[in-house]
C-alpha cells in the first residue's frame, strides 16, 4: 500500500477524531453571543480568537468539522455514481446514446449553475439537502466526461476484446472489467471535488444555499469573516486552514488510491 494512501487515511482519521471528540472538550455551544468579547485576537483564552459576535473561533471550527465532512461526502458521492454510470454507458454503447448523453452534459454545464440553484431552492426551500440535489444535478457531468474518455480508450484494450471473444455479457464486461479500470481519473477528481463542494455553499452565499446561520460551517465562516479581513484576519483564516487540512488529506488519499489502483491494474 502506498505511503500517501496511509498518510491520507491517517490524516482523515485524525480530522474525524477531532470532529467527534473536539466538541466534547470545547463544548457544543457555539451560537451563544458574547458581544462584549467581539473581535478578540488569538490568545490563551481563545486560541483562534473570537468573531464579530464574540464567539470562539476554535470551538466553531471544531464543531463545523462534521458538518463540512458531511457536505463534502453527500455532494460528491451521488454525482460520482450518476456520472460514472452515464459516462460509462455512453462510451461503451457509443452511437446515439453517446451523443445524447454528452450533449445533455454540455447543456447542463453550459447552463448557469446559480439559476438552477435558485430554482431548486425556490421549489424545495433552502438548506443543505437541497444543496446536495443541486450539486448532483450538475456535478455528474464532470465524472461522466472523465469516465467516458477512459472507457473510449479501455474499450480498445485487449482484455475487453478477450472478454468479448469469450462471450461475456455487456453487463459483466462493464462491471467486472471496465469500471475498475476507468474509475481512476474520476476518483482522483472526486478527492478534489470534495473540497470544492465544501466551498460551494459559501461561494453561492447570496443564494441562501447550504448551512443557515448561526450554525458553524467553514465556508460560511470564511464568507462572513472576509468582511473583517483587514481588521480580524483570524476569523476567516482558521476555517480556511481547516479546509486546507481536509484538502491535503484528500489529495494524499487520491494520489495514493491512484497509485494503488494502477499497481493492481498492472498485475
Segment 207-266, which members bind other proteins (CB under 8 A)?
207-209, 212-214, 219, 222-224, 226-231, 236, 240, 243-244, 246-248, 251, 254-255, 258-259, 262, 266
> Closer to other proteins at the Cβ: 24 or 35?
35
When binding is defined by CB under 8 A, the residue of 99, 124, 162, 175 that contacts other proteins is: 99
> Cβ(136)–Cβ(79) under 8 Å?
yes
When binding is defined by CB under 8 A, the residue of 98, 101, 131, 183 that contacts other proteins is: 98
209 three-state secondary structure = strand
CB of 97 to other proteins, least distance (A): 11
From 22-30, 69-77, 97-105, 171-179, give the range in contact with other proteins by CB under 8 A: 97-105
Q: Angle 220-66-253 (CA atoms, 0-180°, nearest 5)?
A: 100
| Other CB atoms within 10 A of residue 104 CB | 15
Q: Quote the longest CA-to-CA distance of the chain.
A: 76
From 11-19, 22-30, 67-75, 183-191, give the range in contact with other proteins by CB under 8 A: 183-191
Query: In which residue are the cell numbers 500517501 written?
Result: 4
When binding is defined by CB under 8 A, the residue of 6, 13, 27, 32 that contacts other proteins is: 32
14 binds other proteins (CB under 8 A): no
Q: How far apart are CA 229 and CA 42, in angstroms?
A: 14
**Which grid coordinates belong to 114?**
446559480
Amino acid at each position: 500500500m502506498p505511503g500517501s494512501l496511509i498518510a491520507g487515511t491517517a490524516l482523515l482519521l485524525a480530522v474525524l477524531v477531532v470532529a467527534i471528540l473536539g466538541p466534547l472538550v470545547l463544548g457544543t455551544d457555539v451560537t451563544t453571543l458574547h458581544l462584549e468579547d467581539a473581535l478578540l485576537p488569538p490568545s490563551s483564552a481563545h486560541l483562534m480568537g473570537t468573531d464579530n459576535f464574540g464567539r470562539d473561533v476554535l470551538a466553531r471550527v471544531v464543531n463545523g468539522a462534521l458538518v463540512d465532512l458531511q457536505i463534502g461526502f453527500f455532494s460528491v458521492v451521488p454525482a460520482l455514481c450518476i456520472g460514472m454510470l452515464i459516462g460509462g454507458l455512453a462510451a461503451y454503447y457509443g452511437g446515439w446514446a453517446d451523443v445524447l448523453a454528452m450533449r445533455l452534459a454540455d447543456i447542463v454545464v453550459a447552463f448557469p449553475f446559480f439559476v438552477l440553484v435558485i430554482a431548486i431552492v425556490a421549489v424545495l426551500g433552502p438548506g443543505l439537502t437541497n444543496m446536495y440535489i443541486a450539486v448532483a444535478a450538475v456535478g455528474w457531468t464532470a465524472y461522466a466526461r472523465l469516465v467516458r474518455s477512459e472507457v473510449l480508450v479501455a474499450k480498445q484494450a485487449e482484455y475487453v476484446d478477450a472478454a468479448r471473444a469469450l462471450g461475456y455479457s455487456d453487463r459483466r464486461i462493464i462491471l467486472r472489467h471496465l469500471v475498475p479500470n476507468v474509475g481512476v481519473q474520476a476518483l482522483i477528481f472526486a478527492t478534489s471535488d470534495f473540497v470544492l463542494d465544501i466551498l460551494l455553499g459559501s461561494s453561492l452565499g447570496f443564494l441562501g444555499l447550504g448551512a443557515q446561520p448561526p450554525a458553524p460551517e467553514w465556508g460560511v465562516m470564511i464568507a462572513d469573516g472576509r468582511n473583517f479581513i483587514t481588521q480580524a484576519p483570524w476569523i476567516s483564516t482558521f476555517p480556511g486552514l481547516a479546509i486546507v487540512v481536509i484538502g491535503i488529506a484528500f489529495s494524499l488519499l487520491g494520489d495514493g488510491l491512484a497509485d494503488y489502483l494502477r499497481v493492481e491494474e498492472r498485475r
